[in-house]
Amino acid sequence: MAQILIHEVGPRDGLQVEAQVVPTEVKLGWLERLIGSGIDIVQVGSFVHPQKVPQMADTDELFRRLTATPRGGAVLSGLVLNEKGLERGLACGVEMYCMGVSASATHSRKNTGMDPADATRRIIETALEARRAGREVQVSVQSAFGCGFEGAVPEERVMGIVAAYLDAGLTAISLADTAGHAYPTQVAAYVRHILVMEPTAKVTAHIHNTYGVGMANVYAALDAGASSIEASVGGLGGCPFTKVAAGNVATEDFVHALHRAGQRTDIQLDVLVGVARDVAAFFGRELPGCVHRTGAITAKAPA
């Protein structure tokens, strides 16, 4: 595998389902450590209505404060659902825009109030506007591997959305396992399908661990040619508009596995573990991830 990019989504996908709102100063502390850990991209938050997702009410302020002075470290990404979200993001310094369409009609209506066809047109227009503003854009297909409400989602429906993205010149594409229904052979087949459609596409896998096969799906995606993985510190997360909201693959677990293979040793695993432990202490419960509880294996396994 070539260099694997890691996109930390804990501050957004990890926190959005939590009822206990995290104070802005606490979030900033976690974000600054994640940004400096060697992770490639950190998703600061989403531009959604604060009454629908109270945990994201301070997203604009977080971006303003994080971009107020020059800094190194990770690219800062933000999730937008529509043109209004893009306007807010442009005003506060988002560096990479993430936006997507659900392949499930039920999930799409719950999440955006639109059916997938209308949502696809709107997201493509918004993505192109972000590109014209000189910003990096990643587009996603949510519920790509199945839906908690509808069950199986036809592959042709997923690839139809992907084809619309590619036709618009949008080649950074994330396949999101929103409901956690993915299984390894399916993930590999979908990634390969996209790379046949467009060999230069940059494919990301956003994997939830709802049914315990998250890490297997991550490696299936990488083996098939995905170049980026989205994960969440501590394994926090889940979409509040799906049927069973469950956590993501834990960032520190994935990085630990990479370190065991001598990969991405530039990422500071101890920082990720420390943040995961602090998040667990804040919420006063055990998180789904493993390595922040077990500790890391420090020596590389023999070949």
What's the Rg (C-alpha) of the chain? 18
Of 3-17, 54-68, 167-181, 232-246, the one with minimum mean pLDDT is: 232-246
pLDDT digits (tens, 9 = 90+) for 239-296: 554 444 567 999 999 999 999 999 999 999 999 999 999 999 999 999 999 999 999 9
pLDDT digits (tens, 9 = 90+) for 113-164: 677 788 899 999 999 999 999 999 999 999 999 988 888 999 999 999 999 9
Q: Which residues contact 76 (CB under 8 A, 6 or more apart)?
A: 35, 41, 42, 44, 63, 66, 67, 93, 94, 95, 96
Report the residue count for the chain: 303
Nearest Cα neighbor of 194 from 206, 203, 185, 183 is 203
Helix axes 24-35, 269-283, angle to 10 degrees: 160
Mean pLDDT, range 186-206, rounded to an integer = 98
Strands 41-47 and 75-80: parallel
- pLDDT-derived band at 181, boundaries 50, 70, 90: very high
- Say what the pLDDT of residue 168 is: 98
204 CB-contact burial (10 Å; exposed 0-12 / middle 13-18 / buried 19+): buried
Nearest Cα neighbor of 121 from 145, 94, 147, 139 is 139
- Say what the pLDDT of residue 174 is: 98
- Say what the pLDDT of residue 52 is: 85
| Cβ neighbours around 169 below 10 Å, total | 10
- Say what the pLDDT of residue 33 is: 97
One of 3.30.930.10, 1.20.5.510, 3.20.20.70, 3.40.50.80 is the CATH number of 5-294, namely: 3.20.20.70
- Say what the pLDDT of residue 261 is: 94
pLDDT digits (tens, 9 = 90+) for 51-85: 888 999 999 999 999 999 888 889 999 999 999 99
Q: Which entry of 92, 98, 147, 239 is annotated as an active-site residue?
A: 239
Could you identify the residue written with the tokens 């955006």?
112
pLDDT digits (tens, 9 = 90+) for 33-53: 999 999 999 999 999 988 888
Nearest Cα neighbor of 1 from 213, 193, 196, 218 is 218
- Say what the pLDDT of residue 243 is: 47
Domain definitions of the chain by residue range: 5-294
- Say what the pLDDT of residue 246 is: 63
pLDDT digits (tens, 9 = 90+) for 18-31: 889 999 999 999 99
* Residue 98 appears among annotated catalytic residues: no
